[in-house]
Amino acid sequence: MKVSLNWLKDYIDVQLDPETISETLTGTGLEVEGMEEVESIPGGLNGVVVGKVVECGQHPNADRLSLTKVDIGNGEPLSIVCGAPNVAAGQKVMVATVGTTLHPIEGDPLTLKKGKIRGEVSEGMICAEDELGLGVDHSGIMVLPEETPVGQTARDYFNIQTDYIYEIGLTPNRSDATNHIGVARDLAAALKINHDHDGNLSWPSVEEFKIDNNELPVEVVVENTEACPRYTGVSIEGVTIQESPDWLKQRLLAIDVRPINNIVDITNFVLHELGQPLHAFDLDAINGQKIIVKTLPAGSTFVSLDEVERKLDAEDLMICDGDSNGMCIGGVFGGINSGVKDTTRNIFLESAHFDPQYIRRSSMRHNLRTDAAKVFEKGSDPNITLYALKRAALLIKELGGGTIASEIVDIYPNPISEKEIEVAYSYVNDLIGVEISPEKVRAILEAMEMTVVKEDEDRFTVSIPTNKADVLRPADVVEEILRIFGFNNVPIANQIRSAMVISPKPDPGVVKNAIGDLLSANGFFEMMGLSLSESRYYRDLLPSIPAEKLVYINNTSNVQLDIMRPSMVFSGLEAILHNQNRQRSDVKLYEFGRSYQADGEGFEEINHLTLFLSGQRYPESWLNTDKSEMSYYTLKAYVRQVLERVGLDRYQETDLQDETFQYGLRYHRGPQVIVEFGRLSGRLVKGMGIKQAVYYADFNWDTILKSLRKQDVSMQELNKYPRVRRDLALVVGNSVKFNDIASIAKQLSKKILREVNLFDVYVNEEQLGADKKSYAVSFVFEDYTKTLKDKEIDKVMERLIKTYETQLGALIRR
């Protein structure tokens, strides 16, 4: 955001140098990211002087060019070729001499050189308004009053001033500082507290505002008061659309706002002065002289000011005419037909407060990041709309003529009052880290126009102005106090004290979050089941857990939940049933939780991680031809991923013989169970009313954490020697598992074997025989010290083949 120092000085008397002001603004949280010394007209018009056209004739080689002689008061008149249609002898004009650099409104800077135009010498340029950077008019050269003295510099004629422009990195929460008055408020408060300034602000007066007549009343209906809590407006008749005066154009140009005409320039000026966006409608284009503030049906079309037809969303707040035709996207962008035009004579001036969320959504939805939208989406002040309306109306009367032709419309059904926040003085000092007296706190709050409405020795209650939309809680009040007190006034301690925090290794929270992230990234949803369960589950469906191991509780609020869950399985089945009953049959869930069992005179609590899979592997889609359901192998892949993520790769494998499972595996280290997983028994699943297969994994989380304490982390650089792959096809009995094949390979070739992978299984009784199957297995070898030779690999493969033949009765297919 750009802020002009000269503009600030309209409201606050400050004599500090620009650098000190920059530091003060930064200290209040308005970080000055850059400061530039500029002139009210770019380049200062150095080299441009007043001249008199003493001769003007036709260019001999061009019909649209004139040859002129121009006296600039330093002796011999200059020969200048001019293309303007309105140039004539006797005129007083602005002349840019050779060597002058001009900064036109559009285009790059232009440095004048002496040269020939169509064969005739030209020693300068007679300038139009846009060429001098004063406006947009390029219809002809500027013609000055006859009494203008020849030779006067443009700098003196236009009273060009030096200014300092601050580039402020405004944070999204600072809704109160989107304008010059807002910045001046903070500056005045900081100067009053820290620089013995009186802290007074000079607000523009609106006391002269009065209603001249009521000939052009406009009816306003606000249908959506949530999106538009306050709407004010007034009619002005008989205005003249014309160029703005120099002072107004210079104010806007200083902050890179392009002047357009007096009415539009005034609305932009008030926006950057007070932080209140305004919109001027051509009153004669408002059908029925009625305005309706509402939303239109989704898909309605609206042609905006940039001549783009836009399709509206059902949440876009529209300013409509009496026939419900959209004239403006409220708070965001005007329409092509309702705005001020050169022929406009009567206007309706709008000053409203819109809900930030509505504005933000519409602005982003239509990619219209206007200055007004940026203010509204931060949260404008609902209680400044009327003042801003009067301020703009008086300026329009002053600069465009006209009279106030209606009563002020002010629709404000639910006035927004100032919030009151209670804060303890001790909380202020604790949060800031320095002792600030209650007197100092009160002085700072008063300097910021925040009234203390209640106070005792320990705490105070402060009323928050409605322009500070971000001050919602005690911590925000303390931040306001600190901004004005000064961050630099908080002393830096000579000593920094810290406490050593030793976390367990491994840190259970870190491991849990890592696995949760892994499962969530694979499409799982985390669930949290009740630790309470129903004893009937274990009586009717899972009697392998005897009654004496159940931990009963006296639950008077829900007598069915009468035990602490001894197993995690029913929590997940209840969640799957809940989803199934709501037509969500494809489920991937995980849960971290505890089971509880009675153990003699005490109790045993075990931490678990459980996985549940049911339904199709992939969502239904016309792009997806894989309609397969989740299976035991789907679950096994996720189990292996979890173990790989925590670094557990050495364990034994045993078939499950458990009534919980129809089939499955147990990974363990001796008696320590790491995980049990497989397909849940049909008795459990059907007993719960679930209509499809469910796959379940139960990790003993306590065992995993204990195992991780013994894990060493090691790193190894990438091998520069190539890997070698060999494949074998083995015909084995149905009782032989791939794990048997992999275990033998790892025992026989520990040093160079890196991977064993099963990539095909083939079953055909006619070709292989009864109870036979063929495994296609790949072996990957690698040595970190050298390139492996075929002879070395062949020896290993021969040993493998012989071992498979003798121990597994395998037939090697060649």
CA neighbours within 13 Å on the CB side: how many for 85?
2
Query: What is the C-alpha to C-alpha distance for residues 679 and 697, in angstroms, rounded to an integer?
Result: 9
Contact, 292 vs 221, CB < 8 A? yes
Token duo for residue 595: 């089971």
Torsion of CA 146, 152, 154, 160, to 10 degrees: -110
Q: What is the DSSP letter of 289?
A: G
Question: Is 407 one of the annotated binding-site residues?
Answer: no
Query: What is the C-alpha to C-alpha distance for residues 468 and 381, in angstroms, rounded to an integer?
Result: 8
For the chain, what's the residue count? 814
- Nearest one of 533, 520, 616 to 573, comparing CA atoms: 533
Q: What is the DSSP letter of 735?
A: T
Torsion of CA 347, 351, 354, 360, to 10 degrees: 70
- Nearest one of 553, 579, 580 to 566, comparing CA atoms: 553
Exposure string of 755-790, with b = 16+ CB inside 10 Å and e = fewer, is ebeeeeeeeeeeebeeebbbbebebebbbeeeebee
State how far the alpha carbon of 164 is from the alpha carbons of 4, 33, 251, 618, in Å.
Answer: 6, 13, 12, 62
Contact, 155 vs 46, CB < 8 A? yes
Q: How far apart are the first and last CA of the chain?
A: 78
Identity of the residue numbered 489: N
Query: What is the C-alpha to C-alpha distance for residues 358 and 590, in angstroms, rounded to an integer?
Result: 38
Contact, 305 vs 333, CB < 8 A? yes
Contact, 707 vs 511, CB < 8 A? no
Query: What is the C-alpha to C-alpha distance for residues 787 and 807, in angstroms, rounded to an integer?
Result: 31
Token duo for residue 54: 């003493």
Question: Is 476 one of the annotated binding-site residues?
Answer: yes
The vertex-738 CA angle with 736 and 739, nearest 5°, equals 100
Place of tokens 């293309």: 83
Torsion-angle region of 660 (φ positive above 0: left; ψ -120 to 50: alpha; else: beta):
alpha
Contact, 624 vs 714, CB < 8 A? no
Q: Cβ contacts of residue 508 below 8 Å, gap of 6+?
A: 705
Query: What is the C-alpha to C-alpha distance for residues 364 and 371, in angstroms, rounded to an integer?
Result: 13
Token duo for residue 202: 């000079």
Query: What is the C-alpha to C-alpha distance for residues 504 and 292, in angstroms, rounded to an integer?
Result: 65
- Nearest one of 277, 272, 280 to 251, comparing CA atoms: 272
Query: What is the C-alpha to C-alpha distance for residues 718 and 47, in angstroms, rounded to an integer?
Result: 69
Contact, 808 vs 741, CB < 8 A? yes
State how far the alpha carbon of 258 is from the alpha carbons of 39, 253, 262, 368, 374, in Å.
Answer: 16, 6, 12, 18, 18
Question: Is 196 one of the annotated binding-site residues?
Answer: no
Token duo for residue 185: 């408020």
Query: What is the C-alpha to C-alpha distance for residues 260 and 252, in angstroms, rounded to an integer?
Result: 10
Query: What is the C-alpha to C-alpha distance for residues 705 and 512, in angstroms, rounded to an integer?
Result: 10
Q: 37 pairs with which residues across the strands?
A: 164
Question: Is 479 one of the annotated binding-site residues?
Answer: yes
- What DSSP string runs through 357-393? HHHHHHHHHTT---HHHHHHHH---TTSHHHHHHHHH
Torsion of CA 613, 618, 621, 623, to 10 degrees: -170
- The binding site comprises 470, 476, 479-480
- The binding site for Mg(2+) comprises 470, 476, 479-480
